Amino acid sequence: MLERRTDLLQHAEVHVCAFDIETTKLPLKFPDAEYDLIMMISYMVDGQGYLIINREKELLRQRFAHAGGEAWNLCHIDTMVIFSTGLSWKPELLIMDSK
């Protein structure tokens, strides 16, 4: 018969890792690795947040001009432009303190 050994009982610390990837894409479609770009990746590990931004603006302009005039979902583009042009030193990685 199995017995519970309370002298061996330990609880692990809770660690959290969460992420979100924003891409360009056609409306009502999933992103396609063939031509859609990653705009930004945000992630958080144990309450410390990080934001990685793609600043290849010329590539983005070219991507929006393609697809035979099809409309693009630009909702995430506006956020990226605010972050990348609103900072004079234009970092590749922003660290957001959750405190």
Average pLDDT in the 76-97 region?
Answer: 41
Tell me what pLDDT residue 33 has: 86
Average pLDDT in the 85-89 region?
Answer: 38
Residue pLDDT, tens place only, 35-56:
888 888 888 888 788 888 777 7
Residues of the chain with pLDDT > 70, as a percent, come to 55
Contacts of 51-56 with CB under 8 Å at 24 or more apart are 51/83, 51/93, 51/94, 51/95, 51/96, 52/92, 52/93, 53/80, 53/83, 53/84, 53/91, 53/92, 53/94, 54/80, 55/84, 55/90, 55/92
Residue pLDDT, tens place only, 11-25:
888 888 899 988 888
Tell me what pLDDT residue 7 has: 81
- Better-scored residue on pLDDT, 59 or 28: 28
